[in-house]
Structure 1
Amino acid sequence: MMRGSTVTIITRKRTGTDPGGDPVWAETEEQVDDVLIQSGSQADSTDSTRPAGISVERTLHMPRKWEYHSLRGCRVRLPDGIEYSVVGDPIPYDGGLTPTRWNLTVDLHDERG
């Protein structure tokens, strides 16, 4: 039987404004169990100002039991402690397909170095 890992979804929400009228933000963290983590592509940076830079992609498969909400603008911390940015605003599979316990594919991206 396949079993996923636990990841942390980090969401930033506006909580008000400061005395100067600028927005004030707070982060919330949500742990999700049984997430499948798929390795993706890695590439060296082509930017001459970052000779040691790399681009890393990952894909998550979220479990059906997770109560869906928009992941636009979120970050995800994987079990190794590395945080990735969510690409776009993924939505769950539709159409009554139920072959597995997972129904949402989330693409992640990170730049390092």
Structure 2
Amino acid sequence: MNFSMNENGFTGHLPFGDLQISSNEEHGFRPYQLLVSSLAICSGGVMRKVFDKMRMSFEDIQIEVKEVVRNDEVAGRVEKVHLHFIITGDIKDEKMPRILELTRKNCSMVQSVQDSIEVVETYEIR
């Protein structure tokens, strides 16, 4: 991974391609958006694996970020992220607490911020 400065922020040179990062979202992804995206997508990927391992039938997982709480008194620090999973499939509601527990336990991004950012997970099954 390599990052180089440009006139509006930085360009991340990553194996999949370049990523524009800027404090101005007209010129790239804002750093906090990348942090929140990492939490959401890591969690969704782990949840997908949990469903597969439990042989549960599902068609889709959508992740809505319902809330991001930032503390402007401490450099805009991210203090809370609420992830809402919208699952389409034949998933039993009584299995979801265990699925959420396994998702949290095995998501490296959530584990990385567990003592500094409150991550709230909710779900609905369609």
Under a length normalisation based on structure 1, what TM-score does the superposition of the two structures give? 0.35
Q: Which has the higher helix share?
A: 2
The structure whose RCO (Cα within 8 Å, separation 6+) is larger is 1
Under a length normalisation based on structure 2, what TM-score does the superposition of the two structures give? 0.33
